């Protein structure tokens, strides 16, 4: 079978690597999605184990719509696809999709054509014209890129970033899949204290603890595929058993989750409890500009306000400056900061050793990574020009 895993822009490499780690074969990668193949039972494994994916789809087929009448080409191509191998006489379906760089620019029109084509295929097979979904409702998605339409069946249901431990969040929540990516890049490990001093709802420390303890992100949630008649219940049970066996229960990882807002600390503690990560994370109230090393090795990973939902841009600029001044005293600690402000390095007072472009929802951000010890002559007071400015 062929599958498609979607992800946030910038996470394709990380997603591909964990698909490889599951022993599955990658077929292609484009912005925001990776196509791969595996056995039927690998569908459950992908949903349970993939840490950076948003959804996992069954790839049903594709059709080239670059024709004199692209809607006719779309209709005939979709009708020829084996949807009747998945959707039965007692089932129903919905259709949604996207179109990029295609003659087919009207999404509602494409939805209607795809829906009619699938219905025509099912009517031919099951000899009925009305499908009420008394057994199962399938979510069909089309993706048209450069006039090639790919048709898929959503197997995840709720997006995979919804792990189940965060029913409530603070005013500016960070998606769990992005938090996991921030942590993975920062390389959390057992002998180094991991600290998010602006923890919000605690997503970053929780995802770090899940990574180090090798806890699968989908271990305790449900999926749409578990209702599909052609997927045995044993597939999900087997994937969960595999995930349970892989958990490192003797893990010695330690993380701090702190915030200046006491309500955020309370919310973080609840989320930690729901995630089952209480043995690894300590949550407490503290100003991020007051954290100290305590003589330990450490890594800071944080997502400060961007000036959109929390604080004003001017307040954020002052905060970034004070962060640079204070974090410079954390000895040789590694610092990782996600921020949307292109002038962040200028305010912070130091060029990052590495910058990676990521997206927080629709917000384009940079992930600033400071992992080399700062020389005395390059303290924040000696400000250098931001990237792309000066000589």
Topology adopted by domain 176-216+230-378: Rossmann fold (3.40.50)
| Token digits of residue 111 | 């939805």
- 2-154: CATH, from 3.30.565.10, 3.40.50.300, 3.30.2130.30, 3.40.190.10: 3.30.2130.30
The pLDDT value given to residue 391? 29
Give the pairing of strands 2-6 and 55-64.
Answer: antiparallel
Query: Mean pLDDT across the stretch 290-314?
Result: 88
> Would you give the end-to-end CA distance of the chain in angstroms?
53
| pLDDT given for residue 232 in this prediction | 95
Tokens linked to 141: 């998605």
- Residue 245: burial class (beta carbons within 10 Å; 0-12, 13-18, 19+): exposed
* 224 pLDDT more than 50: yes
Q: What is the rounded CA–CA span in Å between residue 111 and residue 142?
A: 8
pLDDT tens digits for range 161-196: 999 998 865 555 799 999 999 999 999 999 999 999
What pLDDT does residue 171 have?
Answer: 57
- Residue pair 172/198 in contact (Cβ under 8 Å)? The answer is no
How far is 91 from 136, CA to CA, in rounded Å? 5
Backbone angles phi, psi at 323, to 5 degrees: -60, -45
Assigned token pair, 83: 């949807």
Task: Compute the chain's Rg from CA coordinates.
Answer: 24
Share of the chain above pLDDT 90, in %: 85
| The pLDDT of residue 386 | 38
The first and second tokens of residue 371, run together, are 């992992």
Contact indicator for 114, 78 with CB cutoff of 8 Å: yes
pLDDT bin (cut points 50, 70, 90) of residue 362 is confident
Non-local CB neighbours of 357 within 8 Å, separated by 6+ positions: 10, 364, 365, 366, 367
Q: What is the structure's pLDDT at 130?
A: 80
pLDDT tens, 255-294?
999 999 999 999 999 999 999 999 999 999 999 999 999 9
In this structure, are residues 34 and 15 in contact, taking their beta carbons and an 8 Å threshold?
A: yes
Is a pLDDT exceeding 90 seen at residue 215? yes
pLDDT > 70? residue 382: no
What was the pLDDT predicted at 307? 67
According to the model, what pLDDT value does residue 203 have? 96
d(C-alpha 199, C-alpha 262), whole Å: 11
Domain with CATH 3.30.2130.30 in the chain: 2-154
Euclidean distance between CA atoms 359 and 367, whole angstroms: 10
Q: How far apart are CA 231 and CA 311, in angstroms?
A: 48
Weakest-pLDDT range from 33-47, 148-162, 295-309, 369-383: 369-383
Name the nearest CA neighbour of 176 among 156, 159, 157: 159
**102-9-164 Cα angle (round to 5):** 115
Of 14-18, 71-75, 126-130, 298-302, give the lowest mean pLDDT range. 126-130
* pLDDT tops 50 at residue 32: yes
Residues spanned by CATH 3.40.50.150 within the chain? 176-216+230-378
């Amino acid at each position: 079978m062929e599958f498609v895993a979607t992800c946030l822009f910038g996470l394709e490499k990380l997603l591909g690597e964990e698909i490889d780690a599951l022993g599955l074969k990658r077929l292609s990668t484009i912005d925001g999605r990776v196509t791969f193949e595996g056995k039927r039972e690998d569908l459950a494994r992908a949903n349970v184990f993939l840490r950076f994916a948003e959804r996992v789809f069954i790839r049903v087929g594709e059709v080239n719509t670059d024709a004199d009448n692209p809607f006719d080409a779309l209709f005939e191509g979709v009708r020829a696809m084996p949807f009747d191998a998945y959707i039965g006489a007692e089932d129903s379906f919905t259709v949604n999709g996207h179109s990029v760089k295609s003659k087919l620019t009207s999404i509602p029109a494409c939805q209607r054509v795809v829906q009619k084509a699938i219905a025509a295929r099912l009517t031919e097979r099951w000899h009925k014209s009305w499908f009420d979904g008394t057994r199962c409702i399938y979510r069909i998605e089309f993706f048209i890129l450069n006039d090639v339409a790919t048709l898929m069946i959503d197997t995840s249901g709720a997006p995979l970033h919804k792990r189940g431990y965060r029913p409530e969040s603070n005013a500016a929540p960070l998606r769990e899949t992005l938090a996991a990516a921030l942590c993975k890049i920062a390389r959390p490990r057992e002998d180094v204290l991991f600290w998010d001093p602006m923890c919000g709802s605690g997503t970053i420390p929780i995802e770090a603890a899940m990574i180090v303890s090798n806890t699968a992100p989908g271990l305790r949630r449900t999926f749409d595929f578990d209702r599909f008649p052609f997927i045995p219940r044993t597939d999900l049970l087997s994937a969960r058993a595999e995930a349970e066996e892989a958990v490192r229960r003797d893990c010695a990882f330690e993380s701090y989750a702190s915030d200046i807002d006491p309500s955020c600390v309370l919310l973080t503690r609840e989320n930690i409890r729901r995630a089952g990560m209480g043995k690894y994370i300590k949550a407490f109230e503290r100003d991020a500009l007051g954290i100290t090393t305590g003589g330990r090795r450490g890594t800071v990973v944080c997502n400060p306000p961007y000036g959109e939902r929390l604080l004003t841009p001017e307040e954020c600029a002052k905060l970034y400056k004070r962060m640079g001044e204070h974090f410079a005293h954390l000895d040789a600690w590694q610092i990782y900061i996600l921020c949307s402000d292109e002038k962040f390095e200028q305010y912070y007072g130091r060029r990052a050793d590495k910058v990676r472009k990521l997206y927080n929802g629709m917000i384009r951000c940079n992930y600033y990574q400071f992992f080399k010890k700062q020389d005395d002559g390059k303290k924040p007071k000696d400000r250098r020009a931001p990237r792309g400015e000066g000589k």
